[in-house]
Amino acid sequence: MFVLGIDPGLSRCGYGCVEHGRKPRAVAAGVIRTDPDLDRPARLAEVQREVRALISELSPDVVAVERVLFQHNALTAMSVGMVSGIVMVEAVSAGCSVVEYSPNEVKQAVAGWGGADKEEVSQMVQTLLGMPERLKPADVADAVAVALCHVAHIPSRRVAGARR
Amino acid sequence: MFVLGIDPGLSRCGYGCVEHGRKPRAVAAGVIRTDPDLDRPARLAEVQREVRALISELSPDVVAVERVLFQHNALTAMSVGMVSGIVMVEAVSAGCSVVEYSPNEVKQAVAGWGGADKEEVSQMVQTLLGMPERLKPADVADAVAVALCHVAHIPSRRVAGARR
């Protein structure tokens, strides 16, 4: 089973695809960037095209999206929410299951406690996936952490259905 | 020129299409509702399908969306933002221009001042379009008001290019 984690954002939207098996394996990870000189609708359309291409290429079973909470910067949070909505409908259109996890749930699942900082999350992502280096930028590690959070929520009996 | 106004929302998403001419004319107005028993991704996908069908049917030149502000209910505001983002990318995909107006800009343009209440906006929409009755529910009148707000921002020389 492939789980695509998304850390939504308009400037940088992190993605990380993990295969659920006896040991989780990173399949793809990266960041979608949009041109800050474009207006918001055009940037959202860029994200939509990239996410659609990504889902088409990776064929994830599940798309796990980090739930957007209200942050200090209200304008940023709203753009993040827009990206999140677009990711969800693209996933539904492609026939994927869609789940949302709060930042605390992601930190809890990956680092063991909901108050973990970005550094700890990034370190744990590296360890869990047995990678030689940290994933950068932080948005990529965060997206992979969202995917790993979903993997941690899958009942272990379902490992039998792992793909490949 | 056709302007499709959208008052975004997950439970009720109002829409109103106005033709820009010597006198604005209502072309279509209504509300997209989603099943509250479905989860958020499924409801967002419903809105996407309906909005896509609407844009395809009406072929607006411009889609004008009411800008989402942070309201008392943070969860509701985030769902509204998601719908707003989906509407924008559907409009961009269909080749429409996309503009956003704040609630105050809409009230200012339609009712003459930014502090107008829903009742005044609804009354002015009825008057401006010469309709025998008020548009209901309020989401529909609000959506038409967004379209009328954009019409009010179009330089008058462009009336010459009005369609039909």
Summarised one tens digit per residue, pLDDT across range B75-105 is 778 899 999 999 999 999 999 999 999 999 9
What per-residue confidence (pLDDT) applies to A37? 96
Find the CATH number of the domain harbouring B19: 3.30.420.10
- Look at the alpha carbons of A158, A7, B63, B90 in this order and tell me if their dihedral is positive or negative: negative
How confident is the model at residue A50, as a pLDDT?
A: 97
Catalytic residues of A: 7, 66, 139
* DSSP-derived secondary structure for B75-87: HHHHHHHHHHHHH
Mean pLDDT of chain A: 91
Q: What residue in A sits closest to B98 (Cα-Cα)?
A: A41
State the residue range of the domain holding B117: 2-163
* A69 band by pLDDT with thresholds 50, 70 and 90: confident
Q: Tell me the whole-structure pTM to 2 decimals.
A: 0.90
Active site residue B7: yes
Q: Is B48 on the interface with A (CB under 8 A)?
A: yes
Helix (H) or strand (E) holding B5, with range, is strand B2-7
Mean pLDDT of A123-144: 92
**Å from A132 to nearest chain B CA?**
36
Pairwise CA distance, residues A129 & A23, whole Å: 8
What residues 65-104 of chain A have any CB closer than 8 A to a CB of chain B?
68-70, 74, 77-79, 81-86, 88-89, 91-93, 98, 100
Pick the most confident of A56-65, A75-84, B115-124: A56-65
Q: Which of B19, B90, B105, B139 is catalytic?
A: B139
Catalytic residue, chosen from B66, B90, B105, B142, is B66
Question: Residues A46-63: pLDDT tens digits?
Answer: 999 999 999 999 999 999
Cβ–Cβ under 8 Å, residues A98 and A91: yes
Q: Is B35 a catalytic residue?
A: no
- Per-residue pLDDT of A86-129, as tens digits, reads 999 999 999 999 999 999 999 999 999 899 998 999 999 999 99
CB atoms B44 and A88 under 8 Å: yes
Q: Is the ipTM of this complex over 0.85?
A: yes
Quick one: pLDDT at residue A163?
52
Band (pLDDT 50/70/90 cuts) for residue B146 is very high
Query: What letter does residue B68 receive in the DSSP assignment?
Result: P
Of A45, A74, A77, the CB nearest to B89: A45
DSSP 3-state assignment of B14? strand
At B99, which helix (H) or strand (E)? Answer: strand B97-101
pLDDT on residue B35: 95
Give how many domains chain A has, as a whole number: 1
CA distance A26 to chain B (A): 25
Closest partner CB to A81 (pick from B82, B91, B92): B82
Cβ pair A70:B70 closer than 8 A: yes
Closest CA to A121 of A131, A132, A107, A103: A107
CB contact under 8 A, A92 and B44: yes
Q: Determine the pLDDT at residue B161.
A: 47
pLDDT at res. A21: 87
The CA R_g of chain B, rounded to the nearest whole Å, is: 15
Residue A81 and residue A7: Cα distance in Å, rounded? 11
**Contact flag B41-A74 (C-beta cutoff 8 Å):** no
A14 exposure class (CB count in 10 Å sphere: 0-12, 13-18, 19+): buried
DSSP A98-113: EEEE-HHHHHHHHHSS
- A54/chain B closest Cα distance in angstroms: 17
Put simply, the answer to whether A44 touches B68 (Cβ < 8 Å) is no
C-alpha B47/C-alpha B126 separation (Å) is: 26
* Distance, CA of B39 to chain centre: 24
Quote the pLDDT of residue A161.
47
